[in-house]
Amino acid sequence: MTSSRKGHDGRRIAFLGTGLMGAPMARRLLAGGFAVIVWNRDSSKAEALAEDGAVCVKTPADAVSGADVVITMLTNAGAVEDVLFDRGAADAMAPGTAVIDMSSIAPHFARDHSARLAELGIQHVDAPVSGGVVGAEAGTLAIMAGGDKDVIDGLADVFAPMGRVTRVGPSGAGQLAKLANQQIVAVTIGAVAEAMLLIEAGGGSPAAFRDAIRGGFAESRILELHGKRMVERQFTPGGSSSNQLKDLNAAMATAKTLSLTLPLTAAVHAEFSEFVANGNGEKDHSGLLLHLEEKNGRPGGKQ
């Protein structure tokens, strides 16, 4: 099943995975004038986009049939492989279709998927994003793309409603950039959390501390947004700790294949591993503060 309504450039987009991030990204494409066919494992999450103009279908193969561009925004590499290859989506695509995988997966999986799709005459770009739900809703995502330059350039109008795209290298390079981004996010969350703990334990005000250093050399989006979460103790996930750990696992595995030692990443990886193992996977990754408080015998920030 496909939509009879075409996008402003005549291309139909199939969007597979309309969860926390995928749904607002699909809405941005619809608002940009594209015809969008949506599928999600939990069909209610796809059906919620019908009022925005999306066409909802029952299977990934139905979604991609007749689509010119296929966007995947799925949980992990296993989910991407399942949808593309086990559920028949790749076989249902016409040669010349472009697949944009915006999921966050390890680089070697992206390269493998690209090679397998190329055998079917299908183009592939790995294009993970940073910016969270807020960026997805606003269309201001940082999009890190790996793949053929001409293919990426030819998809510029598809990327535009969702954010700013930058080609960072060949196949797999987008995922590598996302892992590097997630290293910075995780290490910075750890640094801000430890600073908050130090201030509170010494009798200072975490809220006043955060205000005091805003605009200085320690300023960052992490301090602004996640520091605010720590001060307000609001850990409902924008980005879950389990997803943060998934990316750190991939970063550490990739570093091993490259014979790299990354001590800061290794340290924060160990803390997130413990935090998630203790049942906190669905807390926001800024909730690492809770883990550090517990380790120091200061649950709730109290002595």
8 Å CB contact between 277 and 231: no
Mean pLDDT value of segment 290-300? 93
8 Å CB contact between 68 and 13: yes
pLDDT tens, residue by residue, 231-261: 999 999 888 999 899 989 999 999 999 999 9
pLDDT band at 134 (very low <50, low <70, confident <90, very high): confident
Percent of the chain whose pLDDT exceeds 90: 89
pTM of the model: 0.86
8 Å CB contact between 282 and 237: yes
What does the alpha-carbon distance between residue 12 and residue 40 come to, in Å, rounded to a whole number?
A: 17
> Which top CATH class is 177-301?
mainly alpha
Instruction: Decide: residue 131, CB within 10 A, 0-12 exposed, 13-18 middle, 19+ buried.
Output: buried
Of 45, 178, 246, 283, the active-site residue reads: 178
8 Å CB contact between 75 and 104: no
- Give the per-residue pLDDT at 274: 98
8 Å CB contact between 85 and 99: no
Q: Catalytic residue at 178?
A: yes
Mean pLDDT value of segment 56-68? 97
Mean pLDDT value of segment 87-110? 96
Domain boundaries along the sequence of the chain: 12-169, 177-301
Count helices and strands (H / E) in the chain: 16, 9
CATH 2.60.120.1140: does it fit domain 12-169?
no
pLDDT tens, residue by residue, 6-53: 445 578 999 999 998 999 999 999 999 999 999 999 999 999 999 999
pLDDT tens, residue by residue, 146-189: 999 999 999 999 999 999 999 999 999 999 999 999 999 999 99
Mean pLDDT value of segment 227-232? 97
